[in-house]
């Protein structure tokens, strides 16, 4: 078995593209080899700023031989048919055999094809993959025709230690690679993957992104221990920085104290967005510490002093802009900015942002009254919530909207609850985001999301497939989390109607789908959510979830499984008989017409179960309702064991079918069992 080593050298690959490119290379090579009948044991790909590398172990030295038997026409078929068959298989008449079958004698072509050497197959595959590689953005250079992320500089392609000869746009394969751009000049000859990784490491190139990340993290931890700091964790930034260097060297710089009165989120955003620096906190105060870490790509002879000095100067200029925005924004109150929102279009069919905040302010006050929050404060917060969109800071750092509004509200002397509601009204923005719990904040956050959902559904701008340009799925999940995590007893359909939802715009169905997605992560079965939603008329998500949880607990028991089976059996019998007779068997069972003890017992127990489950449902004691249903297990089993439903007497048969139908109607008090998958 052989090892394939492929390395594609180029100028610097953007950090954001590297990991995806490595995955794509492994996928494309693996799929292409499998298509050619070449199995393998392991396929791994790696990326640095200047290279994509791939190793595949356990490859055979050649494709397997192929033997194919292809049946043709009968031997006495017209000459034209025989000639067509011979042409399709590329054989002459004397090269095919005759095969006797029960239906006659047919021509049979036996085609044998020797497998190609693996090296020849790879020589064809690699250029095609390079030429069709799915970069998000690519370029051409010089007079060539290749589209690649950056100009190509070399290709290493080895099967074991033998070079596979191939060429792409004038670049020929070989066994020589390059080390670090500055600290290891000259070609490096390699014989395989282990040799490549070892020699690159000796030449100041760490091939694996995870190893570079760990080097940076270890250096940061060491600096923190020395200086008494805590790192501000940001795995995404750490991954990006690891993609900017082949040999990471962490250097510490200082932030001028003159900038430290600017909100730390603005400083961190500027430092991260523009400079890709890592930041720290003072563990004693919990505030941003006046230090940053830059990850250099070389070991400087002066220990990095010049690099730090240069980065400190660049950062001062960046933060001077940030401080300017802060100082200028403070010259105007949030309230004075609200009028400018009338000139910002929210959507052509939904008006301006000013129109939106007026709708949200009214809805927030209404919700606040429902949930026991301070309605005037909620309305005040909603009316100011979008005002920071007109500030210079949010214009520069869009990710700070809401948060900067909170800072400006505090500076303006707004109530603390109003300021907090402004800061958090966009939350939660995703599964990993925290969910607000302060009543006024919850009211504003709900109002904002519901207004967005109602507005876009009213104008028929709803998500389709994978497209959701207005983030409506996220808004619906946000509403669900706000309601469930704060245990809010509100009727969602009524709230949607209050927000102006047109008749039947499908919003409750949309919420049902989003709820299934939300609960899937909590291992709640989607069919159980559907079973409760199918009952209709349930707009209280807290109550709905209590019913779903009780149903899930019931379905995990033997009694639940048995009752589902009984429900299906009864429903199938009734459905078949209704189709045959074109008669519905809904309706009251005639107790006097019951003959056998088993059907009498079932009738009596159904009556008890209906009463007990109805009472329990009314008290929202859904576990008790399920327990009442579970008591039917024995009587139902006895009925099916002893009673003949399709009796000869038509009246008796009809009464028994009504009894079976009542099993379904009894169970449907707690959930629609017809949509439970089992």
Residue 222 near residue 251, CB atoms below 8 Å: no
The CA-atom distances, in angstroms, between 129 and each of 29, 38, 42, 443 are 8, 16, 19, 53
The span from the CA of 116 to the CA of 192, in Å, is: 22
3-state secondary structure of 344: coil
Counting every residue, how long is the chain? 678
Q: Please state which CATH number belongs to domain 557-675.
A: 1.10.730.10
Domain ranges of the chain: 2-62+117-202, 67-113, 209-329, 346-544, 557-675
3-state secondary structure of 97: strand
Task: Please name the residues in contact with 677: beta carbons below 8 A apart, sequence gap of 6 or more.
Answer: 525, 527
pLDDT along the chain (678 residues), means of 10: 96 96 97 93 96 96 84 88 87 85 86 87 96 95 92 96 94 96 93 96 97 97 96 95 97 96 95 95 96 96 96 96 97 97 97 97 97 98 98 95 97 97 96 94 98 95 90 96 96 94 82 87 85 84 91 90 88 89 87 91 92 91 91 90 89 90 86 85
Joined together, the tokens standing for residue 305 give 């002093």
Residue 412 near residue 335, CB atoms below 8 Å: yes
The pLDDT, as a whole number, for residue 165 is 96
Joined together, the tokens standing for residue 6 give 């492929």
The span from the CA of 297 to the CA of 103, in Å, is: 76
**Count of C-beta atoms within a 10 Å radius of residue 220:** 19
Residue 451 near residue 359, CB atoms below 8 Å: yes
As a dihedral over the C-alpha atoms of residue 608, residue 609, residue 613, residue 615, rounded to 10 degrees, the angle is 0
The span from the CA of 13 to the CA of 243, in Å, is: 8
The pLDDT, as a whole number, for residue 678 is 67
* Whole-prediction pTM: 0.80
The pLDDT, as a whole number, for residue 504 is 63
């Amino acid at each position: 078995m052989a090892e394939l080593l492929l390395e594609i050298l180029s100028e610097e690959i953007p950090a954001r593209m590297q990991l995806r490119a490595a995955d794509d290379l492994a996928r494309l090579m693996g799929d292409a080899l499998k298509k050619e009948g070449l199995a393998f044991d392991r396929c791994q790909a790696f990326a640095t700023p200047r290279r994509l590398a791939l190793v595949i172990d356990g490859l055979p030295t050649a494709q397997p031989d192929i033997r194919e038997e292809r049946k043709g026409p009968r031997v006495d078929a017209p000459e034209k048919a025989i000639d067509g068959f011979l042409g399709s298989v590329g054989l002459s008449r004397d090269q095919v055999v005759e095969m006797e079958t029960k239906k006659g004698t047919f021509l049979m072509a036996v085609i044998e094809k020797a497998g190609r050497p693996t090296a020849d197959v790879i020589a064809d595959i690699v250029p095609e993959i390079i030429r069709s590689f799915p970069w998000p953005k690519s370029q051409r250079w010089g007079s060539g025709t290749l589209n690649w992320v950056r100009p190509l500089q070399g290709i290493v392609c080895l099967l074991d230690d033998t070079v596979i000869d191939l060429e792409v746009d004038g670049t020929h394969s070989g066994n020589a690679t390059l080390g670090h751009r500055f600290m290891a000049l000259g070609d490096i000859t390699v014989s395989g993957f282990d040799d490549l990784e070892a020699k690159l490491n000796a030449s100041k190139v760490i091939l694996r992104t995870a190893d570079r990340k760990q080097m940076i993290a270890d250096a940061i931890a060491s600096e923190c221990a020395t200086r008494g700091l805590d790192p501000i964790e940001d795995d995404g930034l750490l991954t990006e920085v690891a993609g900017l260097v082949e040999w990471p060297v962490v250097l510490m710089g200082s932030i001028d104290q003159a900038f430290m009165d600017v909100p730390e989120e603005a400083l961190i955003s500027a430092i991260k967005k523009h400079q890709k620096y890592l930041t720290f906190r003072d563990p004693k105060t919990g505030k941003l510490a006046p230090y940053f870490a830059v990850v250099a790509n070389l070991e400087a002879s002066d220990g990095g002093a010049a690099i730090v000095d240069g980065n400190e100067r660049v950062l001062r200029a960046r933060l001077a802009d940030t401080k300017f925005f802060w100082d200028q924004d403070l010259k105007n109150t949030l309230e004075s900015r609200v009028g400018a929102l009338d000139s910002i279009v929210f959507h052509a069919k939904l008006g301006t942002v000013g129109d939106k905040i007026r709708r949200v302010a009214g809805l927030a006050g209404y919700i606040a009254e429902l949930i026991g929050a301070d309605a005037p404060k909620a309305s005040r917060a909603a009316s100011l919530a979008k005002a920071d969109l007109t500030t210079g800071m949010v214009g520069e750092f869009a990710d700070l909207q809401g948060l900067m509004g909170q800072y400006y509200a505090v500076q303006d002397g707004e109530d603390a609850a109003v300021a907090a509601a402004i800061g958090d009204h966009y939350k939660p923005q995703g599964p990993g985001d925290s969910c607000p719990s302060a009543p006024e904040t919850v009211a504003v956050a709900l109002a904002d999301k519901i207004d967005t959902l109602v507005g876009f559904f009213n104008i028929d701008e709803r998500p389709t497939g994978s497209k959701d340009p207005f983030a409506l799925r996220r808004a619906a999940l946000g509403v669900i989390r706000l309601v469930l995590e704060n245990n809010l007893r509100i009727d969602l359909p009524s709230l949607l109607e209050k927000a102006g939802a047109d008749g039947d715009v499908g919003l409750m169905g949309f919420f049902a789908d989003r709820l299934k997605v939300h609960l899937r992560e909590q291992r709640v079965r989607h069919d159980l959510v559907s079973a409760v939603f199918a009952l209709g008329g349930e707009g209280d998500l807290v109550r709905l979830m209590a019913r779903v949880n009780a149903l899930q607990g019931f379905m995990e028991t033997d009694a639940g499984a048995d009752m589902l089976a009984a429900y299906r059996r009864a429903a199938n019998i009734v459905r078949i008989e209704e189709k045959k007779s074109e008669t519905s068997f809904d309706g009251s069972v005639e107790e006097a017409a019951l003959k056998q003890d088993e059907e009498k017992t079932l009738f009596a127990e159904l009556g008890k179960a209906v009463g007990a489950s109805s009472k329990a449902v009314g008290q929202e004691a859904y576990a008790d309702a399920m327990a009442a249903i579970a008591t039917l297990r024995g009587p139902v089993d006895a009925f099916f064991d002893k009673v003949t439903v399709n009796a000869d007497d038509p009246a008796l048969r009809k009464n028994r079918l009504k009894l079976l139908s009542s099993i379904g109607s009894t169970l449907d008090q707690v959930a629609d069992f017809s949509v439970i998958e089992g």
